[in-house]
Amino acid sequence: MSKDVERVFTEARSAFGKIDILVNNAGVCRFGAIEAVTEDEFHRQFDTNVLGLLLATKTAVAQFGSEGGSVINISSVASRLTSPETSIYSASKASVDAITRVLARELGPRKIRVNSINPGVVDTEGTQTGASSVATSRARWCSTPCLAA
């Protein structure tokens, strides 16, 4: 994974010049009861949602220089709502929130801002395919009825 991250940053620098902002937006999820949890699924979600974010941030920070920069992590309302059948995904997004807070304090003195955005259910390909729909996803995330977006 480290080599892939390095390649992306090399290509971005070639195409756009100096890098001063990173948006960590890659993410995967699969919902299921505790009986469906597997090591492979755990690693798939944590490797993408957490390790990928850490490696991309590490690479970006090395390139920001003394001028600093900005890191924006895309997390999820799932980190706080803890809906049934979301144990791996919710844990991975809670990790993103914790990492964001830690790195904000760690990197702030170096003029690097670290923030996160925690959206709710968004109408995407992921909510249109498979077993999920926007209505099903909203029902999963909301303990009280959600308003249509």
The pLDDT tens digits along the chain (149 residues) read 889 999 999 999 999 999 999 999 999 999 999 999 999 999 999 999 999 999 999 999 999 989 999 999 999 998 888 789 999 999 999 999 999 999 999 999 999 999 999 998 777 776 666 444 445 555 555 543 333 33
- Catalogue the active-site residues: 89
Residue 130, pLDDT score: 47
Cα atoms in the 13 Å half-sphere on the side-chain side of 46: 12
- Where do the CATH 3.40.50.720 domains begin and end in the chain? 2-118
Cα 112 to chain centroid, rounded: 18
The CATH class, in words, for 2-118 is: alpha beta
Query: pTM of the full predicted structure?
Result: 0.81
Structural contact between residues 53 and 96, judged by C-beta atoms closer than 8 angstroms: yes
